[in-house]
Amino acid sequence: MLVDLIVHGAARLVTCASSGGPKRGAAMREVGSLAGGALAVKDGRIVAVGETSEVLAQYEAAEMVDASGRAVCPGFVDAHTHLVYAGERLDEFEMRIQGKSYQEIMLAGGGILNTVRQTRGASPDQLINQSAARLATMLELGTTTAEVKTGYGLDTASELKMLLVIEKLARQQSVELIPTFLGAHSVPPEYRGRTGEYARLVIEEMLPAVADWYARSDFAAQAKPCFIDVFCEEGVFDADLTRQILQAGKGCGLALKAHVDEFVAMGGTTVGIDLGAISLDHLDHTPPTEMAHLAASPTVAVIIPAVNFNLGSPEFAGARAMVDSGVAVALATDLNPGSAPCPSLPLVMAIACRYQGLLPAETLNAITINAAHAIAMGDKIGSLEVGKQADFIILEVADYRHLAYQFGVNLVQQVFKRGRRVV
C-alpha cells in the first residue's frame, strides 16, 4: 500500500499508547518502547506502527525517514500555558530574588495585573508577533499541541481580543492550539474589592460573548473544545464563585478547568470534580481527602513544577504520591511572564524527576498521552497509535530518558505535525 511517509529503523519507537483514558499508577511506567520500530503515515494520520520489517513489507512511501540510532516519540502536549501576553516582568523577577513573595507582588499591583495593563494596551498584531515567536521555540523543543489561556484582558473586549489572537495564531503556525477562556484569572483594578461584581461581569457579559465567538470559531468547526478556567485562590476567587463561574461556563457548552490549591487549599478541587472538570491544575496544597476523590475521578491533575522552580521554592506538588494513589497525572509548563517564563516540557520532565520523584517514563507519559487527555484531545493526539494524528518527534539520541537526564540542551532533532516535517 502506498502511503505518504514512512519513518523506519528507530532505535526506539516510543508510543505512549494507552487503552482508553489517561494512564494511572503502574501504567505510567510503561512507555510502549519498540526496538527497530517504524511508523507509516497517510493523510496526516498514522496507518501503521510496528517493527520495521513488518511495516516495510506492507507499505511504501515517497518520503522515507531513517531514524536509526535515534528515538521517536509522540509530539509533546503542553496542557497549560498563558503564552499570549505583552511585556516582560524582569523587575518582578529581581524583587522575588530579593525576598518578596508572589502574593506580596500581586497585592502591590504587580504580578498578573502588570501583564494585564500591557496586554490591554497591545494591538492584536503585537500580541500575535510576540506569541508566534514563543510558539516557534516551543515547536523546536518538541511541543506539537498547546492549550492557551486568555486572562490578561479581564474586560470583555480585551478577553475577546485574546481569543481572536489565539484563533489567528492557530491558523498561521504549526503548533495546534486549544483555547481557554480565563476571564476569572484575577480581579482587574477597576473592580478592586468588588470580586463578586466582577464575577457577575464574567458570567453575564463575558461568557455569552465567548460562547458566541466559540460557536463561530475555527475551533468549533474542527470539533475542538474550548475551556473555561478559574483561578481559585485566596485573594482571587473562592470556591463558591469558582463554582458559579464554572457552572455558567458549562451551561454555555465550554469544558472545565481550574487553577486550584496553588498556594492555599480553598476547596476548588472538590468543586471541579463535582462539575466534571477535564483537568484541575497546580494542586500543590490539596488535602488528602480531596486527593482521594481526585484519584477516583476521571479528572486529570496537571502538575506545574516549573512554577515552584521559578519561585525558588523548596516545596513541590506531591506528584509521586498522586501517581501512586492512582491520580491521572499530566505535566505542563504554565508558560507565562511571571511565575514560569519557560517554554520547555523537557525541562519540566527534568524538574519533576529531581524534585518530585517521578521516573523519566512517568514524566514522558505525563507530557504526551495524559496531557492530551487533560485538554480532551486524548482520542486524537498524545500517542503513536493507528488512527491518531501523525504528530511525532525524532530525538538526537537513542534513549528517550535523555530528555529528563540532560537539561539545558535541546535533544529534539526533527518535529512532524500531521505527518509534515515542521522542524
Residue nearer to Zn ion on the CB measure, 85 or 400: 85
Q: Please, what is the minimum distance in Å from the beta carbon of residue 100 to Zn ion?
A: 20
DSSP per residue, 315-355: ----HHHHHHTT--EEE----BTTTB----HHHHHHHHHHH
The distance of closest approach from Cβ of residue 354 to Zn ion in the complex, given in angstroms and rounded to an integer, is: 22
The x, y and z cell numbers of residue 259, run together, are 487553577
Q: Give dist(CA 116, CA 118) in Å, integer.
A: 6
Binding-residue total with Zn ion (CB under 5 A): 1
Which residue's CB is nearer to Zn ion, number 60 or number 315?
A: 315
Instruction: Using the minimum distance from each CB to Zn ion, give the nearer residue, 233 or 362.
Output: 233
Position of cell 464574567? Answer: 202
Residues 51-80 that bind Zn ion (CB under 5 A): none
Residues near 25 by Cβ (< 8 Å), separated by ≥ 6?
A: 323, 324, 326
Could you tell me whether strands 45-51 and 33-42 are parallel, antiparallel, or unpaired per DSSP bridges?
antiparallel
Task: Return the H-helix or E-strand segment holding 402.
Answer: helix 402-405
Q: Dihedral through CA 62, CA 63, CA 69, CA 70, nearest 10?
A: -140
For Zn ion, give the closer residue by CB, 270 or 336: 336
Q: How far is the CB of 236 from Zn ion (least distance, A)?
A: 12
For Zn ion, the closer of residues 284 and 334 by Cβ is 334
The residue among 11 and 340 lying less far from Zn ion, judged by its C-beta, is 340
Alpha carbon distance 370, 358 (integer Å):
14
Query: Residue 178 in contact with residue 143, Cβ under 8 Å?
Result: no
Query: Looking at beta carbons only, is 150 or 370 nearer to Zn ion?
Result: 150
Contact 65, 72 (CB under 8 A): no
Shortest reach from residue 82's CB to Zn ion, in Å: 6
Helix axes 124-140, 156-172, angle to 10 degrees: 50
Instruction: Give bridge partners of residue 178 from the DSSP assignment.
Output: 147
In whole angstroms, how close is the CB of 302 to Zn ion at the nearest point?
Answer: 9
Q: How far is the CB of 340 from Zn ion (least distance, A)?
A: 8
Give the contacts of 301 (CB within 8 A, at least 6 positions apart). Answer: 279, 280, 281, 283, 294, 322, 327, 328, 329, 330
Q: What is the smallest separation between the CB atom of 4 and Zn ion, expressed in angstroms?
A: 37
Task: Name the amino acid, one letter, at 351.
Answer: I
Q: Which is nearer to Zn ion, 128 or 236 (CB)?
A: 236
Query: Minimal distance in Å, beta carbon 198 to Zn ion?
Result: 18
Calculate the CA dihedral of residues 195, 196, 198, 199 and round it to 10 degrees.
120
Which residue's CB is nearer to Zn ion, number 92 or number 334? 334
Report the candidate in 66, 26, 4 with the shortest Cα–Cα distance to residue 323.
26
Give the nearer residue to Zn ion in terms of CB position, either 59 or 231: 231
292 to 26, 171, 286, 321, 371: CA distances (angstroms): 17, 40, 10, 11, 20
180 vs 383, beta carbon nearer Zn ion: 180
Q: How far is the CB of 92 from Zn ion (least distance, A)?
A: 16
Q: Minimal distance in Å, beta carbon 182 to Zn ion?
A: 8
**Residue closest to Zn ion, measured at CB:** 334
CA-CA distance, 346 to 128, in Å (whole number)? 25
The 315-344 contact track toward Zn ion, x by CB under 5 A, reads -------------------x----------
Locate 340 and state its grid cell.
514560569
Which residue in the block uniquely carries the three cell numbers 466582577? 198
The dihedral through the CA atoms of 205, 211, 214, 215 has a sign that is: negative
Min. distance of Cβ 262 from Zn ion in angstroms?
A: 8
Binding site for Zn ion (CB under 5 A): 334
